[in-house]
Amino acid sequence: MPETPSLLAGKCMCGAVEYAVEDAFEYAMNCHCSKCRRTTGSAFKPIAGIRRERFQLVKGAEAILIYGNPDETHDVHCGTCGSVVYSVVREGAYAHVPMGTLVDAPAIRPTAHIFVGSKAPWYEITDDLPQYREFPEG
């Protein structure tokens, strides 16, 4: 019988919004796009991608704020503290979880840098992970 992935907890900065996600992420990357930089105020956002049905809000659904088109790609923020809790991407099929919102450590680690074509000019990538100008195909 296949083993069921463990559940990881995550939350926003103030704790008004909490989620549970299976420790079954399909990929993890450091995103350098200008949107992720502006959302985090940092040089990049470490994200982990998972099918949306493996992610669920467990607290604070009434407190969320959606930025973007709710029927397409959008970010879900805590309406109280403003933290990005997750993003809906890839035609609604996936959630991108900002790895900094995870309370529990996932098994996966970032394996690449994406959108380096628009990375902050003041930031130098110093590790040996592959770098992609955009989101890698496949």
Q: State the Cα–Cα distance between residues 137 and 85, nearest whole angstrom.
A: 25
CA atoms within 13 A on the CB side of 47: 27
- Given a cut of 70, whether residue 10 has pLDDT beyond it is yes
Domains and CATH numbers, the chain: 7-118 (2.170.150.70)
Q: Tell me the longest C-alpha to C-alpha distance in the chain.
A: 50
Count of beta carbons in the 10 Å neighbourhood of residue 10: 23
Tell me: the pLDDT tens digits for 65-117? 999 888 888 999 999 999 999 999 988 899 999 999 999 999 999 999 999 99
> What's the whole-model pTM score?
0.89
Percent of the chain whose pLDDT exceeds 90 = 84
- Taking residue 8's Cβ as centre, other Cβ atoms within 10 Å add up to 21
Residue 99's nearest CA partner among 87, 91, 89, 90 is 87
